[in-house]
Chain A
Amino acid sequence: MANILEVRNLVQHFDLTKGFLDRLRFENGLPKLVHRVAHAVNGISFDIREGEVFSLVGESGCGKSTAARTIIRLLEPKAGTIAYRGLDITKLARKEMIPLRREMQMIFQDPYASLNPRQRVRDIVMEPMLFHRKAKNRKEAAEKSLALLERVGLNPEQALRYPHQFSGGQRQRIGIARALAMEPRFIIADEPVSALDVSIQAQILNMLMDLKEEYQLSFLFIAHDLSVVKHISDSVGVMYLGSIVETGRKENIFRNPRHPYTRLLFSSAPTLDEEERCEPAELKGEIPSSINLPKGCAFCERCPMAVEICAQERPVLKEVEPGHSVSCHCMHGDPA
């Protein structure tokens, strides 16, 4: 199967210094200019196959949302390449991106912030259709938007209401209808269910799966909830401090996690099934700041298995079995 998206060595960082005075520091009485840079994404690579769901999973601040925003070029990538259906979109001009934006749509995390409170729901769904000329005139767009709202489980009679008259789950449905209005092939869903109650979350997850089948969509799915990721994905990438530490097919990763961070993450996730609950190894400390990245492995300060080389050298992704790569110097289950 062809890849819909190929990302290679993608880098994103943010300069935190605001101006000359902010950069000025004194060391031993001498003025010095310093740069403070947050390294949000440090060279990640992955592929998404046509019609599949690839999930980026990790804790807050690991760079998963920044990666998503960089891929759709809401943020300009600092290095690396992004290829969408074989076309390198890294350097495309704004104008050239527009026809691609039609095919790549985004669903945002917070259904309270991602809808314009002063627009009626019908207009929210109509606007992209008119902008991208998916509908000939307003009348056609209005008809289409009603059909879409019905498809995502809203009553078309409510189409003239404003977003504040809807609950969180319903708003997320509106956001999904807006994304579907473009008949996209590829959807980036940034934590689409994490703001919702569990019973609503399950409804939305089921709907996303149905839509995926119905419209042959491919997904980049960003989440921190492992059980959701396990449920929805075909492939998974586990991120830590801006790097993918382990990636592969879902079955491989969940059956046989090899990176110590992945293992800790999995054992930390609370579960309903008492039989499979293992007491997680105590994970010390917290995620280091992305401003001063460790020289070696990003996880080495917290890693229970760290050895000397981990602090010196950054590990690279190595394939441990077909479709399963791990970036670690001394991973679990190594014969050595």
Chain B
Amino acid sequence: MAERLLEVKNLTTDFHTFRGRVRAVDGISFHLDKGEVLGIVGESGSGKSVANLSILRLIEQPGVVSSDGVLFKGRDLSGLDARSMLKIRGKEISMIFQDPMTSLNPLYTIGSQIEEMLLLHTDLDDKGRKARCAELLAMVGITNPEERLRSYPHQFSGGMRQRVVIAIALAADPCLIIADEPTTALDVTIQAQILRLMERLVSRAGASMILITHDLAVVSRMAHRIAVMYCGRIVETGPKRMVIKSPAHPYTRGLLGSIPRMSADQRRLDPITGMVPSLLDLPSGCAFSPRCPRSQPICERGVPPEIKLDGGRSVCCHFPQLENL
């Protein structure tokens, strides 16, 4: 069995607002093995970004994070002091953000932004850092790296900026990379380039990755395992093929039915009715029950327990569907 890298137990994130308590993440548990790519899928507002910010303890007031432990390499991150967290962020766990237009500082050169990472987390000397910066830029496929180090972010296109962000994320050889919608802001041809690059670099470095996205097609390309989130809970998780070929939760089925397929000629899509409820006013019981085609009275009464299925799958539903799509 592969080595366990990250284990999140019963993570909950609340935001206390003037209009009441918003439970953005509601008791989620998941794990990640070494070298594994976990895809977290969900629509906007499902809590997938907040969950990962909570792991890195980047949630600020009025957010409150609680959990039964966030074990990273056996250490509990939830109990660490701020100083030790600084050593983990960037060095052990690094992040790639969605918007390459805003995640780089416009006032500093590309070179100094990569170098900052090396300065904080490695003991290379001045010359070594310069060389490593150029090496990193070359690795993410930017031509003329020595010259480009002196450029500012505005001189780069969106795809090139995202390459720089990836170079920064990889600079300190992290074991876990959390990529939050890394290609959402990019065009498809550039997206394909970036995904291929990330796939190659992550597997070469032997790192693990959590890929957060709303795009099931991107996840099905990159991930080994998929976790589907809805209203702050993980409703289904399992190996990629099984989740996509025979989803057990009606929400996963609905998501898959909403995507037009390139291979088939359909006249109509099969969408989920209604819309995502407000987190301030969640329905009682299963949060998906008002939109669910198979909803029964029991669904409105109690939150469904997690049911383990064969092949490492689990689903939170009173009436999981077991037949193939």
Contact = CB atoms under 8 A, between A and B. Distances in A.
Contacts of B218: 270
A42 B254 CA distance: 42
A226 to B, nearest CB: 7
A160 to B, nearest CB: 20
A254 B262 CA distance: 9
Interface string B109-129: 000000000000000000000
B188 A274 contact: no
A309 interface: no
A170 B276 CA distance: 12
Interface residues of A, number: 39
Interface residues of B, number: 43
Contact of B275 (A167, A231, A286): A167
A199 B275 CA distance: 8
A218 B218 CA distance: 32
Contact of A268 (B189, B267, B271): B189
B197 to A, nearest CB: 10
A271 B256 CA distance: 11
Contacts of B190: 59, 286
Nearest to A230: B262
Given A227-B262, A231-B260, A272-B259, A202 B191 contact: no
B187 A270 contact: no
Nearest to B244: A272
B189 A270 contact: no
Contacts of B261: 227, 271-273
Given A199-B272, A231-B266, A283-B193, A270 B215 contact: yes
A165 B40 CA distance: 29
Contacts of A271: 217, 220, 261-263
Given A199-B254, A271-B217, A59 B262 contact: no
A202 B187 contact: no
Contacts of B263: 271, 273, 276
A269 interface: yes
Given A227-B260, A230-B260, A274-B220, A199 B268 contact: no
B108 to A, nearest CB: 23
A83 interface: no
A210 to B, nearest CB: 9
Contact of A59 (B189, B267, B273): B189
B282 interface: no
A273 B188 contact: no
Query: Which of A202, A224, A274, A277: most chain B Cβ within 10 A?
Result: A202
B214 interface: yes
A216 interface: no
Nearest to A170: B275
Interface in A162-204: 167, 169-170, 197-203
Given A59-B188, A197-B214, A286-B190, A205 B269 contact: yes
Contacts of A265: 188-189
Contacts of B221: 270, 277
A59 B259 contact: no
Nearest to B41: A198
B255 A199 contact: yes
A264 interface: yes
B275 A59 contact: no
A200 B259 CA distance: 10
Q: Is the interface of A mostly helix, strand, loop or mixed?
A: helix
A119 interface: no
A268 B196 CA distance: 10
A75 interface: no
Contacts of A197: 43-44, 214, 276
Given A200-B275, A286-B159, A206 B268 contact: yes
A197 B217 CA distance: 14
A209 interface: yes
B239 to A, nearest CB: 13
B76 interface: no
A276 B255 contact: no
A212 to B, nearest CB: 12
Interface string B34-60: 000000000110000000000000000
B257 interface: yes
Given A198-B255, A199-B255, A286-B190, A226 B262 contact: yes
B157, B195, B217: most-surrounded residue (chain A CB, <10 A): B217
A250 B273 CA distance: 29
A314 to B, nearest CB: 22
Contact of B157 (A199, A230, A269, A286): A286
A169 B220 CA distance: 25
Contact of B217 (A169, A201, A228, A272): A272
Interface of B: 43-44, 157, 159-160, 187-193, 195-196, 214-218, 220-221, 241, 244, 254-263, 266-273, 275-276
Interface of A: 59-60, 167, 169-170, 197-203, 205-206, 209, 224, 226-228, 230-232, 254, 264-265, 267-274, 276-277, 280, 282-283, 286
The 9 closest A-B pairs by CB, nearest first: A202-B271, A202-B258, A231-B260, A270-B217, A268-B192, A59-B187, A197-B43, A202-B269, A199-B272
